[in-house]
Structure 1
Amino acid sequence: MKRSKAKPINIGIIGTGWPGQQHARVMSAIPDARLAACADLDDARRKEFAQTYAPAKSFSDYHELLHDPAVDAVIVCLPNFLHFPASLAALEVGKHVLCEKPPTMNVAEMKVLHEEATRRGLVYYFSRQFRFTPAMRAAKGLIAAGRLGHIYHARATWVRSRGIPQGVGGWFTEKKRSGGGALIDIGVHALDSAWYLMGTPRPVSVSAQVFRNFEHLVQDPVFDVEDAAYAFIRFDNGAVVQLETSWAGNLPDDIPMGQYFGRELNNSTVYGTKGTIRLKPLSFFEDQNGAVETVPVELPDDADSFELQLRNFIEAISGRAEAINNATQAVELMEMLDAIYASSASGREVPIV
């Protein structure tokens, strides 16, 4: 669906918490985007958002925003269990959608969104701003230049020693509202970073185990999600990725102390036949005459990842670029997440068909 370059795309933000604020924060830097509206049930939070970012309109009910003909696209920043109904409602009235992670609560829901967006010729886009960080873009450049050779393996890690999220309405630790625990909150970021660098190959099977060992650290009455997940995922090109994620664990001292959650490690490493890339700190290890050498890598710039992501969303709507975070990938990402839980429950490797 192509639009005139002269007319900006009017965007409505549904949910004015931290994620919604990040999207609004960068919108003024994009001439083709205009913050047309916001919606939030929390009056105080919505009013504060409106005072800071000055949307043209403000609603308490997001359905009113969706039926505003001036709005071309929406950014869904609601709790996880509302991602699917809000995204579907937006697509049904002809709005393009950018949705925070996870895209949906399961792959069945994501397939519905994919089909609806395709049928209507709309852009569905899932938020993964980490794909746009300077380190990620530099790594993708090396891979595109063939410096890694054939990529056959990756390790994806995001672990914390004491990082179970509490507050924020209490929904993070409740399965029916969050969809999952550490895997859905932080593990999905690590998995997607590695998968993206690998070229988003098609997943074919998963062997995994999830655990809930640290619920005694939580005062909230509901804690029925995993605090750790470990997975081994095979792809159709023969490559594999190992995922390790946890909210809580007795981590050793080789993992550094973080700012808020005790010891914390968030990193992805991708292995190829010619070289290996580690994201943090960005490092490239290359075979040079039979020896592995560390090669300096320069970051391209310090551009804001939220801004670059929003620019790509706008360009995809305008027909000027392909969506980097597209609906097909969202389906495959949800297939992997669903299979991790299914494998853990069955004690077996689970095929993805």
Structure 2
Amino acid sequence: MQPIRIGVIGVGIIGKAHLQQYAGIPGAKVVAVCDINEQEARQAADLYGIPHVYTDYKDMLARDDIDAVDVCLHNNFHAPLTIAALRAGKHVYCEKPLAGSYADGISMLEAARETGRKLHIQLNTLYKKETKAAKALIDDGQLGRIFHGRSNGFRRRGRPYVDGFGTVHFTRKSSAGGGALLDMGVYHIAQMLYLLGVTEVERMTGRMIQEMDMDLQRRDESGFDVEELALGFVTFKGGVTLDIFEAWAVHLDGIEGSSIVGSQGGIRLPSYHSGEQTGSFSFHTTVADLDLNSTVDLNRMDIRWHRMRANEDAYDSSQHHWVAALQERVELLPTAEIALATLLISEGMYLSHTLGREVAMDEIAANSRSLAVQI
């Protein structure tokens, strides 16, 4: 397998996590890092043995020994950096969400098509064991005709900065574009779109809420102007529907995991509380006029599939998949298209909240404006 030479832009919390994962992927070779904080960049480079450090991404993109660029910046920086890297002839792996606005996401996909470069978005829920099991059941027809999905995400009090972790950049529309919906909801909605097999939105409604108390000093310092709870309902072309509950903070002790139901069966995915699994995967159907609730040993499934299937390691994580696709061992999953549909849904929910009514896909696209921050 030929090595894939990678340049990473941004070595904050997410960038460091990406560097740590690349260190464990055969064939991934990070040759350069870039960050406006030179000290942070050099520390990361020293830790992972990366030979080249930059503070200007344009200088890094000028290198001819970089195959791919990993963009690990805040949402509204994604489009300018991604487009610049694509036009410099690099494949691009970008953090979620795709961008801060649907208009910017469209420009990113158009640039990828125009340049013939691959664009991959970090959607880690697509590589979870429960997603693989659900996809296997769906592809085998065990759910019959799928008609509805439920996308759930939960934290009790997990708002960035105001609840004691992360930076103010997560809590301001100017840098993040939105709150819980764009931070966490991206993962859960994208997982549902992947399993439902739909991306063509017809119409939707949404409600954004910020009602819970927070530390007054941190509220002032954060400039908190995004939602802590997002609620929505989406109808896709063809009639499939999806409801959405995404909470950074809500007074509950937990919620059920996301689910998908069809004419012959249903799936409930594990529930999570602030990233920690609190529920299990289950499959529900009727056999011989008996209602069955079944569990799956996901770990045994994973072991068997790695033993029996070629290139199963290409689906161990988003970055494993990215490297394997660049090595041409597997076809790249349509993460950019899924991420764009996810962004359309998010933006539609924001627009619906602002207008106080249901909105259609064409209306969302027509109202979308670039939030890109040029650097």
State if a TM-score over 0.5 links the two structures.
yes
Secondary structure at the counterpart of residue 143 of structure 2: coil
Secondary structure at the counterpart of residue 301 of structure 1: helix
Cα distance in 2 for partners of 1:311, 1:19 equals 16
Q: Do the aligned partners of 1:123 and 1:316 also contact (CA within 8 Å) in 2?
A: no
- 1:282 alignment partner AA: F
Corresponding residue for residue 41 of structure 2: 46
Cα distance in 2 for partners of 1:305, 1:182 equals 29
Corresponding residue for residue 118 of structure 2: 123
Q: Cα 1:338–1:184, aligned 2, differ >3 Å: closer, same or farther? A: same
Corresponding residue for residue 189 of structure 1: 187
Corresponding residue for residue 311 of structure 1: 320
The runs of 5 or more residues in structure 2 that have no matched partner are 271-279, 307-312, 363-375
Alignment of 1:113 with 2:126, yes or no, is no
State how 1:320-339 maps to structure 2 within 5 Å: 320-339=329-348
Q: Do the aligned partners of 1:155 and 1:241 also contact (CA within 8 Å) in 2?
A: yes
Cα distance in 2 for partners of 1:76, 1:161 equals 30
- 2:288 alignment partner AA: N
Cα distance in 2 for partners of 1:139, 1:329 equals 17
Q: Do the aligned partners of 2:204 and 2:352 also contact (CA within 8 Å) in 1?
A: yes
Cα distance in 2 for partners of 1:331, 1:44 equals 34
Cα distance in 1 for partners of 2:213, 2:106 equals 33
Corresponding residue for residue 292 of structure 1: 291
- 2:340 alignment partner AA: V
Secondary structure at the counterpart of residue 26 of structure 1: helix
Cα distance in 2 for partners of 1:339, 1:217 equals 30
Cα distance in 2 for partners of 1:238, 1:185 equals 27
- 2:193 alignment partner AA: W
1:305 Cα deviation after fit: 9.2
The CA deviation string for residues 198-239 of structure 1, in whole angstroms up to 9 with x for no partner, is: 113422111111112236445142011111110001111211
1:83 Cα deviation after fit: 1.2
Secondary structure at the counterpart of residue 313 of structure 1: helix
Q: Do the aligned partners of 2:209 and 2:228 also contact (CA within 8 Å) in 1?
A: yes
Aligned residues: 337
Q: Which of 267, 270, 278 is equivalent to 1:277?
A: 267
Corresponding residue for residue 246 of structure 2: 245
Cα distance in 1 for partners of 2:214, 2:296 equals 44
- 2:118 alignment partner AA: V
Cα distance in 2 for partners of 1:24, 1:216 equals 34
Corresponding residue for residue 351 of structure 1: 360
Q: Which of 144, 168, 171 is equivalent to 1:170?
A: 168
Q: Do the aligned partners of 1:133 and 1:305 also contact (CA within 8 Å) in 2?
A: no
- 1:308 alignment partner AA: S
1:38 Cα deviation after fit: 1.2
- 1:338 alignment partner AA: E
The runs of 5 or more residues in structure 1 that have no matched partner are 256-264
Q: Cα 1:307–1:13, aligned 2, differ >3 Å: closer, same or farther? A: farther
Cα distance in 1 for partners of 2:19, 2:43 equals 13
Secondary structure at the counterpart of residue 177 of structure 1: helix
The CA deviation string for residues 294-337 of structure 1, in whole angstroms up to 9 with x for no partner, is: 12313232788985322322333344432214332232221111
Corresponding residue for residue 365 of structure 2: none
The CA deviation string for residues 255-291 of structure 1, in whole angstroms up to 9 with x for no partner, is: 2xxxxxxxxx473111111111111111111211233
State how 1:141-220 maps to structure 2 within 5 Å: 141-166=136-161, 168-214=166-212, 216-217=214-215, 219-220=218-219
Secondary structure at the counterpart of residue 267 of structure 1: coil
**TM-score, with structure 1 as normaliser:** 0.89
Cα distance in 1 for partners of 2:332, 2:23 equals 21
Corresponding residue for residue 134 of structure 1: 129
Secondary structure at the counterpart of residue 250 of structure 1: coil
1:160 Cα deviation after fit: 2.0
1:27 Cα deviation after fit: 2.2
* Percent of aligned pairs with the same amino acid: 32
Cα distance in 2 for partners of 1:113, 1:279 equals 31
Task: Name the stretch that deviates more: 117-126 or 37-46.
Answer: 37-46
Corresponding residue for residue 310 of structure 2: none
Q: Do the aligned partners of 1:23 and 1:306 also contact (CA within 8 Å) in 2?
A: no
1:23 Cα deviation after fit: 2.4
Q: Do the aligned partners of 2:124 and 2:187 also contact (CA within 8 Å) in 1?
A: no
Cα distance in 2 for partners of 1:27, 1:162 equals 31
- 1:286 alignment partner AA: T
Cα distance in 1 for partners of 2:180, 2:168 equals 14
The CA deviation string for residues 70-110 of structure 1, in whole angstroms up to 9 with x for no partner, is: 11111111112211111111112111111111110111111
Cα distance in 2 for partners of 1:47, 1:26 equals 18
Cα distance in 2 for partners of 1:51, 1:71 equals 19
1:56 Cα deviation after fit: 2.8
Alignment of 1:12 with 2:10, yes or no, is no
The CA deviation string for residues 127-149 of structure 1, in whole angstroms up to 9 with x for no partner, is: 00111011111111111111111
Alignment of 1:22 with 2:17, yes or no, is yes
Task: Name the stretch that deviates more: 64-73 or 112-121.
Answer: 64-73
Cα distance in 1 for partners of 2:256, 2:225 equals 24
Q: Cα 1:321–1:305, aligned 2, differ >3 Å: closer, same or farther? A: closer
Q: Do the aligned partners of 2:190 and 2:339 also contact (CA within 8 Å) in 1?
A: no
